[in-house]
Amino acid sequence: MSKLVIVESPAKAKTIKKYLGNGYEVVASMGHVRDLPKSKFGIDVDNGFEPVYTEIKGKEELIESLKKEAEKSDFVYLATDPDREGEAISWHLAHMLDLPLDDANRVTFNEITKTGVKSGMEHPRSIDIDLVNAQQARRVLDRIVGYKLSPFLWKKVRRGLSAGRVQSVAVSLVVDREKQINSFKPEEYWSIDAKMTAPSSKKQFDAAFTGVDGQKTELHSQAETDKILKRIEGADYNVTEVKKSVRRKSPAPPFTTSTMQQEASKKLGFAAAKTMKAAQTLYEGVDIEGMGAVGLITYMRTDSLRISDEARAAAYEYIGKAYGKNYIPNTPKVYKSKSNAQDAHEAIRPSMPDLTPDRVKDSLTPEQYKLYKLIWERFIASQMANAVLDTVSVDIDANGCNFRATGFSVKFDGFTVLYEESKNEEEGKVLPNIEAGDKLKLKAIEGHQHFTQPPARYTEATLIKALEENGIGRPSTYAPTISTIVNRFYVERDGKQLRPTGLGEVTTELMKQHFKNIVDSKFTATMESDLDKIEVGKMNWVDSISEFYDDFADTLSKAEQAMDGKRVRVPDEETSEVCEVCGKPMVIKIGRFGKFLACSGFPDCTNTKRIVKDTGGVCPKCHKKVLQKKSKKGKKYFGCEDNPNCDFMTWDTPVSDKCPKCGDGTTLFKKGGKMFCLKEGCGYEVAIRKEK
């Protein structure tokens, strides 16, 4: 028999073909093949919100090829990704290829390994229509919000804007945080820090003021602090109590999609989209030297913390061999998923725990290797024994003023030998041997002024955490949501921080005034919960959409009446640059393609120009400024300000150091661990010294 297996990507097709062997043809649909039309609404509101699907433009040849392959096959398996989106793609393929919807032709793979593929093929089922309906409901919801609300924003703010069920809430979170920062009023507080030595050692240790006469005391001014310092002048520092205990520190659980994106952002500096792209390739399969195409991790869109018994056993086998049996926990580590987690898949883990990062490093790109190493170490550590810490707390009295010193030492490193989610600077700070009744020697004492700090701006990691905690979106939506709000200029990156643009602020304010539910996190979370109910057959998707639409249509009508004849102005960002045409200040505006400089005298003066960043570098060809620029694909490069008269450009980064060989002010450039001169004929090069 000839059997056809349809997956989503060529990489996945290649890996699966390797395990299925002869008798199977494996082809890729390249994602969705049908969708709502781009040029019109595509939803019959008066007929049960029936979606009108059309073939995706540009996929005509692919669709025809899939039909021909299906016609000449005795049986067709639909093996798209194991989630709502994958189920919907299989459903669309079944309609397009005239496959019976009740056929047991749907197979899913939690991991693309020989075992995972064999298990999936041995358990075919019919298409899960509840899962499909959940995807349809989400798609219809997003189309209603986007198609109906975006034109309103075009008329009232600016053409080309968009609104979205999840994206608008994400922007609102960033805008609200910025308001909290701007309205924050710092409060003064003080601390008193002492350095002491014990009778048993000359090594100094730190102790902090905690209170007076056993009562916790906060210091709010220098006067209060000076009063305490005066009270303890010449006082004896006596140890009143020493508490020793043992603390067990548990490893972090294996990754879910959210925690993987957060940790990759913190530890690797990866954007969420970059993390998901690398994870997708690791799941679908990578050519490993000596092994061929191998899927290195389990499915990367999951919010479950469940681990299979086989994976746990494989982890224990590796841990025992690599670290010893005492690093295997006495009882299995079982992590509890959050209450609304979808438990169809395991947590993200290596598909073959014995395949260490070092073994596959030469076959992976740097991004793939870094992410695989993070996933592998997190999973192996999650199955290791707890770390055991000896802790000590020392209470000290000085004329009724109380101080405390704390210290930690590692009794057994456990999982920390491999991986820690975050380092605690206090851990490993060993105190000398101190006993109750000891008289300590004061070496230094000083009061320090502090001010309370405003809440931090969101980073990608903390925004993803906030979305997850508020029940907004699902694992598959976090990365595209952040990409969308940045690409559409509602939010901009400032290093790792996310800050709202003027466009994001005025749009959010308009939405809050007229479409409160759309930017309300609780309302959006309830809609997400409804989608989950649809997925398990506990809610009818048409009823859910109907309930939303009636209220939304009424709200939209009222907003259009309230805003009739009105427009919202996006504030310009002032700059110190002066228009060379008319002499008025230049301002920063946001257009379809991003920020640009425009004369504040518009419409009398229409002068505009690109925003460029002076790097401080000096062009090695003509000695003019080197500017940071962006290619059409958005990649950063560096070029002479006198382009096109001077054609100098490079991907290498300018530095402030001058070339000592040329001696004419030409600056050096760097790449990797070297700095070098790019002036023709120079050839100067030096290694970059690393600071200790």
Return the active site residues: 299
Q: What per-residue string of b and e applies to 558-568 under the rule 16 or more CB within 10 Å gives b?
A: ebeeebeeeee
Map tokens 């062997």 to a residue: 21
Give the SS3 label for residue 307: coil
- Per the CB < 8 A criterion, the answer to whether 673 and 687 are in contact is yes
C-alpha dihedral sign at 17, 20, 22, 25: negative
Tokens of 226: 């000076």
Q: How many Å apart are CA 354 and CA 333, to the nearest integer?
A: 19
| Torsion angle of the four alpha carbons 665, 669, 670, 671, in this order, in degrees rounded to the nearest 10 | -160
Please give the single-letter amino acid code of residue 555: T
> Which backbone phi and psi does 280 adopt, to 5 degrees?
-60, -45
DSSP 255: B
Q: How far is CA 144 from the centre of its chain?
A: 27
Residue among 625, 523, 14 at smallest CA distance from 293: 14
> Which backbone phi and psi does 196 adopt, to 5 degrees?
-135, 165
Residue among 315, 319, 312, 284 at smallest CA distance from 298: 284
Tokens of 90: 């299989």
Instruction: Identify the bridge partners of residue 244 per DSSP, sorted by sequence position.
Output: 392
DSSP 642: T
- For residue 603, say if its preceding peptide bond is cis, omega within 30 degrees of 0: yes
Q: How many Å apart are CA 149 and CA 479, to the nearest integer?
A: 23
